[in-house]
Amino acid sequence: MFWSSNPFINNADITNTMKCNRFQKLVQYFHVADWSTEPGRGEPGYDKLFKLRPVMESVSRTLQDIYTLNKEVSIDEAMIAFTGRLSFRQYMPAKPIKREHGLGDKVVMRLVDHIFHSSRWLFFNNFFTVIPLMKELLEKGFYACGTVRVNRKGFPSQLKKPAEVRQRGDFKIMQMGDTNLTTTVWKDTRLVHHLVTLRDPTIILPVQRRCGVNVLQLQSPHSVNVYNMYMGGVDLHDQYHA
């Protein structure tokens, strides 16, 4: 796309430096590891990304060294359209683009393994949120909040569609045993469910919602307020990405 005839896409600094064919050949043969030392399939240390692993690790270490995360950290997944051959794609039947790398809770733990016991607040959507992940994050020194699918294993059946949560602004909160984990359901235009470990479950906060020309003054559980506050940037990024 850098060599596009469209002036809004074309990048003159690159197109004046090399021809498109030259770039394609560089990409075709580019790798940064000694292929003669590459373990074969089934051998210890086999890595499908062997040719790129050194530069990937270097970039990752550099970013971790020079960028300090805030107290609140948002984690999200992005779908990349791809029709070529790639052996580690993950099939995602519910997504418009149906294949993606990684699996929810493993992805989260891998992303934060360099900041264990930092007491940060983590936020993610229902692709990642499962009860074992929330408990493991607590053990590793994190607090977390995420929307959750009601069919997740261990989710309280009495919060899936509670009869007492009917009107907009109604909610119900349950603490899971004597743990720090609470589950909430709140009625907006539809039911919204959260798992959360980072706030006092007795905190109830005001929230405004528009209904036509009217502005409704509602109450919401702690999880709704804090989730919307710190995942809003992710939603905006997704809009720009789309």
Which tens digits make up the pLDDT trace of 111-153? 999 899 999 999 999 999 999 999 999 999 999 999 999 999 8
pLDDT value of residue 101: 40
Rounded distance between C-alpha atoms, residue 169 and residue 231, angstroms = 20
pLDDT in tens, 166-181: 999 999 999 988 889 9
**Could you tell me how many helices (H) and strands (E) the chain has, helices first?**
6, 8
Pick from 238, 239, 228: nearest CA to 72: 228
Q: Considering the entire predicted model, what is its pTM?
A: 0.77
- Contacts of residue 138, Cβ cutoff 8 Å, sequence gap at least 6: 144, 179, 180, 181, 197
pLDDT value of residue 176: 87
Rounded distance between C-alpha atoms, residue 29 and residue 210, angstroms = 55
pLDDT at 235 over 60: yes
